[in-house]
């Protein structure tokens, strides 16, 4: 790997043009100070103090610079932004050549300088076969482009359903209760047809219909309603129990993951967003698993069985 000394030199070029510059208002200990960075078509310069004028000549810039690095494909700038302090690192591979810290107020200037630096480095190495990632502004080898992880709605649902694996037996019971509820809700149509044909229509025509003929049908309708209600209550209770445990596992897993993150993550995230992820978002998953998903499949079964009843 190239050392820092091999980059800390540049030859004067009469065609060299200044592309961007910015002030750095913190020192290495994150205390207030003054410094600057500048990018030209040939090199990156850094120095202490303030630049005398905004439109400075490159020759004068070279005289004021304490460090300078010629632009090469091995160099890259890594930017870390936080609500209070940002950090910009100049790297050659895995080696950190220089590090600058700055307050959040000058982040846009640093970002503009970084973009100019990376655009110029890519322009100097445009002959090589690289794919450009506009989000990161870094060249990526076509051979090293990895496949994206599936993050669609179906993939997310499958990942959530994996949390139900420890409670599969309860899920099976809930599914059977859902099927029983659907079947019980289809009993009234079978009893209504003979009730209409054998009781209501003859009674409307003036015929005498014994009460004993209507009682079995009415009792069957009442029993079907009671059974459907009991099965529906059991289904709701069982699936709510499962969804609550799945939600608890999700919250524990999410909280454990948040606890393992670095302080930089918390510096760039609002506390309310993190609380919402653990509380509100998992509660929405609970409602979806215990209410919406079960009602969806129950309604599909009801439509299918109703169609079977109508055609038979």
Tell me which of 110, 126, 144 is where a domain ends: 144
Closest listed residue to residue 243, CA positions, set 283, 192, 302, 193:
283
Encode pLDDT of 219-248 as tens digits: 988 998 999 899 989 888 988 888 888 888
d(CA 183, CA 296): 16
Is 58 found in the same domain as 90?
yes
The pLDDT, as a whole number, for residue 139 is: 38
Using alpha carbons, list the distances in angstroms from residue 12 to 42, 90, 157, 306. 9, 21, 60, 85
Is 195 found in the same domain as 214?
yes
Is 79 found in the same domain as 16?
yes
Residue 21, domain extent: 4-144
Is 306 found in the same domain as 206?
yes
CATH number at residue 192: 1.20.1560.10
- Confidence band (pLDDT; 50, 70, 90) for 197? confident
Tell me which of 118, 144, 170 is where a domain ends: 144
Tell me which of 90, 118, 144 is where a domain ends: 144
Is 172 found in the same domain as 114?
no
Residue 129: in which H helix or E strand, if any?
none
Please answer whether residues 178 and 297 qualify as being in contact, where contact means their C-beta atoms are separated by less than 8 angstroms: yes
The pLDDT, as a whole number, for residue 5 is: 43
Find the farthest-apart pair of alpha carbons in the chain and give their distance in angstroms, rounded: 117
The pLDDT, as a whole number, for residue 100 is: 92
How far is C-alpha 294 from the chain's CA centre? 25
SS3 assignment for 210-253: CHHHHHHHHHHHHHHHHHHHHHHHHHHHHHHHHHHHHHHHHHHH
* pLDDT of 131 higher than 50: no
d(CA 42, CA 37): 14
Is 173 found in the same domain as 260?
yes
Closest listed residue to residue 86, CA positions, set 51, 53, 110, 64:
110
Terminal CA-CA length for the chain: 79
CATH number at residue 78: 2.30.29.30
d(CA 6, CA 168): 62
- In the predicted model, what is the mean pLDDT of the chain? 78
Is 157 found in the same domain as 289?
yes
What contacts 33, CB < 8 A, 6 or more positions away? 24, 25, 26, 27, 48
How far is C-alpha 81 from the chain's CA centre? 20
Encode pLDDT of 38-59 as tens digits: 999 889 999 888 876 556 788 8
Encode pLDDT of 273-305 as tens digits: 888 878 888 788 777 777 777 778 778 888 888
d(CA 62, CA 12): 8
Is 47 found in the same domain as 11?
yes
Q: Which residue has the higher pLDDT, 40 or 137?
A: 40
- Confidence band (pLDDT; 50, 70, 90) for 186? confident
Domain count along the chain: 2
Please answer whether residues 76 and 11 qualify as being in contact, where contact means their C-beta atoms are separated by less than 8 angstroms: no
Encode pLDDT of 77-113 as tens digits: 988 887 778 889 998 888 889 999 888 888 888 989 9
* pLDDT of 159 higher than 60: yes
Using alpha carbons, list the distances in angstroms from residue 48 to 61, 64, 66. 12, 8, 7
Positive or negative torsion for Cα 112, 113, 118, 123? positive
Is 177 found in the same domain as 74?
no
Is 175 found in the same domain as 70?
no
How far is C-alpha 11 from the chain's CA centre? 47
Closest listed residue to residue 44, CA positions, set 131, 122, 116, 149:
116
Is 138 found in the same domain as 216?
no
d(CA 79, CA 64): 24
Positive or negative torsion for Cα 116, 121, 127, 131? negative
Is 70 found in the same domain as 111?
yes
**Full-model pTM:** 0.45
């Amino acid at each position: 790997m190239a050392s820092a000394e091999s980059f800390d030199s540049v030859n004067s070029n009469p065609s060299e043009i200044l592309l961007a510059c910015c002030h750095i208002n913190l020192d290495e200990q994150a205390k207030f100070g003054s410094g600057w960075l500048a990018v030209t078509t040939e090199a990156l310069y850094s120095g202490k103090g303030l630049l005398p004028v905004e439109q400075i000549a490159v020759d004068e810039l070279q005289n004021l610079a304490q460090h300078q690095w010629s632009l090469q494909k091995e160099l890259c700038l890594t930017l870390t932004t936080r609500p209070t302090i940002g950090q910009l690192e100049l790297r050659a591979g895995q080696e950190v050549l220089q590090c600058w810290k700055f307050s959040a107020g000058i982040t846009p200037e640093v970002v503009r300088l970084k973009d100019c630096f990376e655009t110029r480095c890519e322009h100097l190495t445009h002959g090589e076969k690289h794919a450009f990632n506009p989000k990161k502004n870094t060249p990526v080898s076509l051979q090293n482009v990895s496949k994206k992880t599936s993050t669609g709605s179906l993939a997310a649902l499958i990942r959530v359903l994996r949390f139900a694996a420890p409670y599969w037996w309860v899920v099976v019971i809930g599914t059977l209760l859902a099927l029983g509820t659907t079947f019980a809700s289809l009993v009234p149509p079978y009893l209504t047809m003979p009730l209409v044909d054998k009781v209501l229509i003859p009674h409307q025509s003036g015929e005498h219909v014994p009460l004993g003929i209507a009682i079995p049908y009415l009792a069957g309708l009442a029993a079907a309603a009671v059974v459907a209600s009991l099965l529906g209550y059991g289904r709701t209770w069982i699936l709510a129990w499962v969804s609550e445990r799945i939600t608890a596992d999700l919250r524990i897993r999410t909280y454990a993951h948040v606890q393992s993150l670095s302080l930089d993550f918390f510096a760039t995230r609002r506390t309310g967003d993190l609380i919402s992820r653990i509380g509100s978002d998992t509660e929405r998953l609970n409602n979806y698993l215990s209410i919406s998903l079960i009602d969806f499949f129950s309604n599909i079964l009801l439509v299918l069985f109703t169609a079977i009843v109508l055609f038979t």
